[in-house]
Structures are given as C-alpha cells and as structure tokens.
Structure 1
Amino acid sequence: MLEIEVKQDKDSHQLNQLLCFNVPSHVHSVSIEVRNEQYMWLTYIVHDQQKKLRGQFIKVSTPQPIIIHQEQEKSSPYTYYGDIPEGEWTIDISIIAREEVKALNNWCTFTIMFNEASDNRKPDLYIWQDEQQSQNLLNVNDEIIFNESKRWYKGDFHTHTTFSDGKMTREENMDSAKNQNLDFFAATDHNIVPTSWFDETEILVIPGIEVSSPILGHFNVISTNDSPFSKHRLEDMFSVEGNVKLLSEDYGNALISISHPFLKHFNWKVTETPLDKIDSIEIWNDPTFKDNIEATKMALIAWNHLLNDGHKITGIGGSDSHNKPTEKYEGSTEPSLIGDPGTYVFCDQLTAANVVKGVKNGHVVVSRGEFIHFQIDDFISGDLCNVEKGTAKVFADTDDPIFFEWIVDGQVAKKETGYQSEFHFDFDKSYHWIRVDVRKKDGSLYGFTNPIYFGSKNPKLKKYGQLLEIMEK
C-alpha cells in the first residue's frame, strides 16, 4: 500500500500537480482512493507506464475506490481495463479550493493498493472500450441501430450523474429519460468520458464529456472515442491557449459544442476559440434555472450574428441535468428534468453516428413542449433551399395558442399568434436564412427551429472574441 500526500506550499486556491508512483510486477489491479477537504473541486486522471489513460475521477459523490483491473467486469466505470504494466504510473491532479481551506498545507491524501480489488461492476454493463488496448480509444460502435424509422428523434445533449456533480445515478438517468420519452441522450459528466453504460435497448446513450474549466467556461465533446486528457494535461483548462488545444484536438466524427455560452459564472471566455472548430452551440440550457432566461436571450442574439456572417453552426438544447426529478432550483416553480428542453434531430435511423450527422447538418428543432414542424416544401431545418420565392410553414401540436416569431436574416420579420403560421418570401440570389422562435403567451420561450438557408457566404468572423466584440457594440 502507498500513501501520497498532496501539499500546497503557497497561499493559493488552485493546484495542478503530477504525482508519480511505481507499480510492481505481477499486478492485476490498482485501487486508488483520495481523501480531501469537502470544500475542494478535485479532478484526477491516471496514466500507466505506457502513457495510456487508465482512470478518471471527480471528487463529489463518485464511489471510491476506483479500481483499474485487468478484467473488464472488475474494473470501475470511467476506467480502462487491461494489462497492468509495471513501472512508473502518473496521477494528473487539478484542485480548486475555497477560501476557508486554501491555506491548509495538506490538501489531500492518495491511498494506492495493488491486487486488492473487489468486483466493482454490475453484470448488466456493456463496454465502450477497445478490448485490444492498442490505443487510448473507446471502441464505440456508433452504427448500432436503435430504431429503423426515418423520423425526428427527441434527445438531450447535456446530462450529469453521480460520477461528477449530478445527483442521479446512471440507472436514475435512464429512468428519467424514459419518463421524458427520450430516444437518446449524451452522457457528459465533467472532465471524464464514460467507458461503459447499461445495456439498454430502448434509449441510445452517446458517450461524451463536458470539458469544464473553472475560470474559462465549458464545452462538450459528444460521441467521442477518446478523452481530451489522453494527450493533454488537466492544467490546460486554466489557460486560453490550453483550451484552444483541447477544443481543436482531433476527435474523429465527434460533435464539438459550446455549453451555456452566456450563463453567468459559467460563460465561455476563450476568446481565441476558432469558430470553424465549433459544430454547435447550446443555445438553451435548463429553462428552470433563473439565470438561463437572460443567458438564452444572449445566445439567440449571438447565434443570429454568426448566421448572418455565414456560419452554419447548429443551435441545440441541453438540460444540464444535475438534480433528482422532484427537485427545483431556488425561485423555480418547475423541477429540473433531463430532456428539458428536448432537442429533436432528424435521422434516417437512430444511431449515434446519425445523431451527430443530423446535428452537423442542422436538422435540429428544440422545444419544451410538442415538436415544432417547420419546412419549405420538402426542405427542413438545416437544408439549403433552392427556391427563391415561396412560402415557409410552421405549426406545433399544442392545445394552447403560441406566438411565432419569424427570424429572417437576424431580424423579426413577422409575429403571429395561433397554432400555425406562414411566411411568404421573395429573395434575391444572395445569402439569406429563415428560422422561427416560438413563445408562450407570457413571452417565455417555447422552442426554436434551426434555419433553412438560401445560398452561402464566406464568414469574416474567425475567432469567438470577434463575436463578443460585436455583441458589446
């Protein structure tokens, strides 16, 4: 057994450190447990002697110890099973402490044991991991078909569990998703990628990660085969340059999405973000959280600027679910639920690859209520329309009249109350776009569509900071 103390030798609230420990020969498991003050946000990543990522952990309510085992059924979730090579392993640690504990000398203690693992797995888990252990990759089969139908599928691109700071277990997430009639959701715990999930045929679960910088904001990598921290350090999250590296990494066909970009205290501040690396923006984050009213308003304005500039970045929603289904945020009259808002994606068949493809193509509608039907002839959200003159139609299957706001080239071109609306257009041959915001009687957002495009335009805005400058004018 090894015990390693992590000390802070200066009066600071932040620590980034690389610990080393030696694994002897003939080891079949490594067990790691950390003890620390409760007023700390602690993340660590474990790499073995061959520099492969083997373990991921966030200290909130995550079960301990984490067990890295050569057998998959005895390895903890969020670890990579396989041979345990002898030699020097490393633990990459990142800690943020509150004022009341930052002056403490000893911030945490790691206890490491070998060949002491118990079965920490449930038999109903299926593995997303590369069984050959040839690379730091998950073996995610994104072509598994969950539904054969060609239609709109309802999902959620931003969820959390007890393995980061969520209050729901993975089982409870599944139950809640079923209750919300979701077809899919992305598992995006903070700074860790799931390596397994429950073998569930009803709901597609897509592995993801919310890269969460405590000072610069958050972004999601959805349907990823790898962790950003396979090749990078946790400390990269604390700098603009580091975040650009993390965001710009090659994640294959994964979806890169900025989370709640204007949410107070969690807004995206990485001004050097290359806009061509962003596939989508989380326009609407948990509608029951009071600060998201203003944040969503600002995100819609920013999105209009990007669309006007020629960027075809898709707008999505995310519940950012943290709470139990019965819990409400302070000041809210509604519980915070997975799938609120619902993000609908048009797919030929329900597979992870098709969901990502649908988002990248802009085939997305977001709604807190019923689905919002929006089209021009056979063209839907995200399509490039070759008709210069015609009629766009929108309707929602709701019992209550709603307000339709036709957004054309960034401006509200028409408002209409009812259950359906039409907009007649007659464009020239230059670049244009049309989308619809839908609101309730009280003016609160009911949902929005992505644009139908007419022509194309070469964007002039290259960096996120340029967008912020426009917003400030």
Structure 2
Amino acid sequence: MSTGEPSRRAVLRASGVAAAVAATGLLPGVSFAAPAPGTARQTKTVTGTFRPDVPDWYYLPVDVPPGVRQIDVTYSYDKPSVPAGTRGNACDIGMFGPEGHDLGNRRGFRGWSGGFRDRFSISAAQATPGYLAGPITPGRWHVILGPYTVAPQGMNYRVDVTLTFGEDDAEPFRPNPAPERAPAKERGRAWYRGDCHLHTVHSDGKRTPEQLVADARAAGLDFIVSTDHNTQSAQLVWGDYATDDLLILNGEEVTTRSGHWPAIGLPAGTWIDWRYRAADARDFRRFVDQVHHAGGLVTAAHPFANCFGCTYEFGYEIADLVEVWNGPWTADDEAAVTHWDGLLRGGRWIPAIGDSDAHNPDQTVALPHTVVLADRLARADLLAGIKAGRSWLAESKTVQLEFSASGGGRTAGIGERLRAGTGTPVTVRATVAGVPGTTVTFLDQLGPEHTETVPDSGSATVSWTTYPRYSRWARVEVRRPSGGPATTTPNAMVAMSNPVFLGS
C-alpha cells in the first residue's frame, strides 16, 4: 500500500491490512519439480487481475519439492489513476507453510508484511522481518494476497516465486525472547510508565528494535509493548536488544478490515489470526479468548481513526481496554474520549489507555503513554494494574499527576472505589507538576464540574467537593488550550485519569 504521505494517519492507512471473510479465492498454483543437476534456482511467475468485487483473500498454491533451502517471493501490481474520492489499488502479502492456512492455523503461518514490502525471503537460518525463519518443508505452501482496495479498472498483479536448492550450512535460527525482568527499574509497588502500542521494521515501522529500545529509554519509559501488525516475528528476537532498565513485553496489533485491536502482554511466539470482520462475531470472540487464555489483554485501538479499515467496529463488551489517545492529540482522539466517557456514563467501564503508536523516527515514542500502578515491574502485575484501571495517561515523562478522593475517613485512588454514604462529603484532589499553560478539570457523569488554571510554575493542587448522591465517579483531565507537541489542535490533552468510583 502507498506510504507516500508522511503523516501518522497515512501510516495507519498503509497498515490497514485486509481480513478474510467466509469467501476466499484460490489462484492457479505453481509446481516446482526437483531440479536438474547443477540447477541452483528455479523461478515461476503468476499474473492475473483482481476485479473490485473480489474476496478479501486469495491463496496462491506453491508446490515445493525436497531439497529447497530458501524461498524468495516478489510481487507487484499496477496503480492506475482514479478520480478524487475513489480508492486506488493496494494489495497485501504473506505466507503460509504446508501445515495449512485455515483460520487460526498457527503452525502454518510463516509471515506477513502487508503492503510494506514488495519481497520477502525465508530460510532455516533467517527471514525477512515479519517472516519466520525455519526449515523449508516439502509440500504445498501458499502465498496469501489481500486486495486491500481495488480500483474500478481492476488490479493487474504479478508474483514471482524463486526456490533455491542445496544444503544450508548456516546455523538454524534460534529464538531469543526478551527477559521477563528489568532489574534496574524495579521499584516494588510503584507507578510505571509504559507505551503499549509500538512498531518496528518487523511490520510497517521504520525503527529497528535497537532504535525503538533507545528511544523508549530516552523517553523515560519503564516498559514497552511491541505490537507489530499481524506477525509475531519480533517477539522472537527482543532478547538481542534488551537492556536491564526497560521491560519489553510482547504483543501483536491484530489488524483487520473492521479495525485494529492490539493484543498486549502475550507469551513470546504467540500469533493471533486477523482474517475476519466485525460481522464474524464468533471468530472475534474465538481470538479474544485465545488472547485471554494466554494471559494477555485486548485493546480497542484508535476507535475513530479516519482511514479505511482503521476505525474500530468490533463490540466493546469483550475488549479489556480502550485506546482513547493515540499519538499527537487530534479530533479523532477527542471523539474517542467522548465515546469512552459515554460508555462510562452508561455503566460500562472499560479502562482507558494512551499510546504513541509510533512507527517512524519522526513520531515520538511515549507521546502519549500510560502510567500504571503495579506491584512489580513484571508482565502479570502490569497487566493486572492496567486491566483494573489503576492508571493515568501522560503526554511525556515531565508530566506528573496524583489523583484521589477522600471522605468518611477513607481514601481511594485511580481505578478504586471510595465507599461512602450518599450524604458523605467527598473531596476530590489532583496534584500536578510539569504542566505549565494548562487547566485542570474534574468531571463526573454530568460532565465538567470544576476547572482551575495551573500557574506558570506548572505545578498545582486542585480540589473539589461533591457527594456520592450527585457523583457516581470522578476523573480528571489536564489540557493545554494552545495545543501541544506535534499538534495544532486546541485544548489538547496533557494528562487524564481513569475514574475513582464513589459510593457503596
């Protein structure tokens, strides 16, 4: 897919990969025979045309004989001019091995690059980022093509498959996942800063894993979650880049035509299928259950992102988190906060998180990020804190926030319940630092209730008194009327909390 636009939303468009519906297409296959003596390589080419009404996925069978040590695939397609407002051609690509390509077949999956690359290579020793190194087993492989958008004129495509024969003398690939601890940042029960939505060259990002680690450390993060699109390949190499002051958790941004849902906190090597739409509710639940059984969490990502396939169309009832703030503050983040607040008012609380979704070096890691209260800097503890909503969102490491409610001799923090009678006075208090030029606003189910301006020092303590008979919960927002980093959107968010609940 085109990645000519430099904006973050253009990157989302480029990564908005296709998903299969019930109907899938099977293309004419290619069959390779054992080579003649002295023949090191064979190449076969498939061409064809996709019409605008094609299924989401096509599978190109490739019969691979014994003795192959490497598979190389290149593909291309035409991009005819289309009228303004009409979608042009974009096509994604990936690979399944002879173990099969049926929905959820983790053994068969061998890699994915969407529309980010025009070629890939797989061998026992190494593979193009996004693909899984491993033996080239004889049998029927499948190149998977996803016509993401098709121009009215159709899409003419070409796929070249090259097999290289002979013994592979290189050492087989050995996974090296990230360590489970980062001892230099361990502080026991404390607030930990983390970015739970990040990309590398293992999908459509331009940072290497090493560069992402360096930028995360510079941003003052304690942990990150690697969420490359539709592949687990990065999960298998993070140990090569880990440091003792940054915990690296595994994830996958499950990227469908009905929206994106990052699965975070997965065991290394976990792959979650994406080949379904929001109408396929049973399939969605099947893979949400897979994430939960693996100990991970499901995030409704950038719910109102204004690009095809990016808007979250799945149900919220089985999501664990809502990503209400994604990258520099924009109008679709405002829409996400408003929608999340509406769910909260309606009695459905799904904790909010904020992530940078950074793909490229010009996109700031940790703008924003989530600050979570956890018993330890460890996967299970961090996920428990995030799922419980014991967290707040921050623009950068310079932003500080404390938020609580007190009444009847008790105090409760973010994500907790202050049990007090309906007539008990409750004082809601926020202490902020590092936020000059901002306002602090308390909100409950009726909307904004109390606002104060932060002095030039950037530090303030703000309080407001309410009663549980009037306020079912309270939360806080810190905003900058003039905008913020990398955005000209006025009234930009600088920090916000999940709620404190009031009443028995």
Match of 1:213 among 249, 256, 259: 256
Match of 2:492 among 439, 444, 453: 444
Match of 1:256 among 261, 273, 298: 298
Give CA deviations for 1:260-313 in whole Å, capped at 9, x if unaligned: 101212576565x343311111100111xxxx5211111111111111222221
Match of 2:222 in 1: 183
Aligned length: 417
Counterpart amino acid of 2:340?
Answer: W
The answer on 1:357 being equivalent to 2:357 is no
Match of 2:17 in 1: none
What percent identity do the matched residue pairs reach? 22
In the superposition, relative to structure 1, how do residues 364 and 18 fare at CA in structure 2: closer, same or farther (>3 Å)?
A: same
The answer on 1:88 being equivalent to 2:140 is yes
Name whichever of 142-151 and 436-445 sits farther off. 142-151
Match of 2:22 in 1: none
SS at structure 2 position matched to 1:228: coil
Deviation of 1:221 after TM superposition, in Å, equals 0.9
Between structure 1 and structure 2, the one with the greater Rg is 2
- For 2:50 and 2:439, locate their aligned partners in 1 and report how far apart those are by CA, in whole Å: 59
**Residue pairs, 1:87-236, within 5 angstroms:** 87-97=139-149, 99=151, 103-114=154-165, 127-128=176-177, 147-149=185-187, 150-193=189-232, 194=234, 195-197=236-238, 198-201=240-243, 202-214=245-257, 216-225=258-267, 226-229=270-273, 234=275, 236=276
- For 1:247 and 1:366, locate their aligned partners in 2 and report how far apart those are by CA, in whole Å: 27
Name whichever of 3-12 and 301-310 sits farther off. 3-12
Deviation of 1:196 after TM superposition, in Å, equals 2.3
In the superposition, relative to structure 1, how do residues 224 and 32 fare at CA in structure 2: closer, same or farther (>3 Å)?
A: farther
User: Which sections of structure 2, spanning at least 5 residues, go unmatched?
Assistant: 1-41, 80-89, 455-459, 483-490
SS at structure 2 position matched to 1:337: coil
Q: Is the 8 A contact 1:156 1:338 kept in 2?
A: yes
Deviation of 1:165 after TM superposition, in Å, equals 2.1
Match of 1:31 in 2: 71
Give CA deviations for 1:322-380 in whole Å, capped at 9, x if unaligned: 2223xxxxxxxxxx301101211111111122221111010111011412111235532
Counterpart amino acid of 2:261?
Answer: F
Match of 2:401 in 1: 372
In the superposition, relative to structure 1, how do residues 62 and 13 fare at CA in structure 2: closer, same or farther (>3 Å)?
A: same
SS at structure 2 position matched to 1:171: helix
Q: Is the 8 A contact 1:384 1:454 kept in 2?
A: yes
Match of 1:384 among 417, 425, 430: 417
- For 1:116 and 1:65, locate their aligned partners in 2 and report how far apart those are by CA, in whole Å: 20
Match of 1:396 in 2: 432
Q: Is the 8 A contact 1:13 1:97 kept in 2?
A: no
Counterpart amino acid of 1:206?
Answer: L
SS at structure 1 position matched to 2:266: coil
In the superposition, relative to structure 1, how do residues 444 and 144 fare at CA in structure 2: closer, same or farther (>3 Å)?
A: closer
Counterpart amino acid of 2:60?
Answer: L
Q: Is the 8 A contact 1:283 1:296 kept in 2?
A: yes
- For 1:66 and 1:22, locate their aligned partners in 2 and report how far apart those are by CA, in whole Å: 16
In the superposition, relative to structure 1, how do residues 92 and 372 fare at CA in structure 2: closer, same or farther (>3 Å)?
A: same
Deviation of 1:76 after TM superposition, in Å, equals 5.2
**Residue pairs, 1:265-414, within 5 angstroms:** 265=307, 271=313, 273-287=314-328, 293-325=330-362, 336-369=363-396, 370-376=399-405, 378-388=411-421, 389=424, 390-398=426-434, 400-414=436-450
TM (normalized to structure 2)?
Answer: 0.73
Match of 2:474 in 1: 434
Q: Is the 8 A contact 2:185 2:246 kept in 1?
A: no
Q: Is the 8 A contact 2:326 2:355 kept in 1?
A: yes
Q: Kindly report the root-mean-square deviation, in angstroms, between the aligned alpha carbons of the 2 structures.
A: 3.3
Q: Is the 8 A contact 1:409 1:432 kept in 2?
A: yes
Counterpart amino acid of 1:172?
Answer: Q
Q: Is the 8 A contact 1:284 1:296 kept in 2?
A: yes
Counterpart amino acid of 1:358?
Answer: G
Match of 2:83 in 1: none
Q: Is the 8 A contact 2:370 2:393 kept in 1?
A: yes
- For 1:209 and 1:10, locate their aligned partners in 2 and report how far apart those are by CA, in whole Å: 31
Counterpart amino acid of 2:403?
Answer: F
- For 1:302 and 1:75, locate their aligned partners in 2 and report how far apart those are by CA, in whole Å: 42
The answer on 1:42 being equivalent to 2:92 is yes
Give CA deviations for 1:146-195 in whole Å, capped at 9, x if unaligned: 74312111111211222322222222211211221111111112222233
**Residue pairs, 1:454-465, within 5 angstroms:** 454=502
Q: Is the 8 A contact 2:129 2:201 kept in 1?
A: no
Counterpart amino acid of 1:44?
Answer: G
The answer on 1:67 being equivalent to 2:122 is yes
TM (normalized to structure 1)?
Answer: 0.77
Match of 1:16 in 2: 57
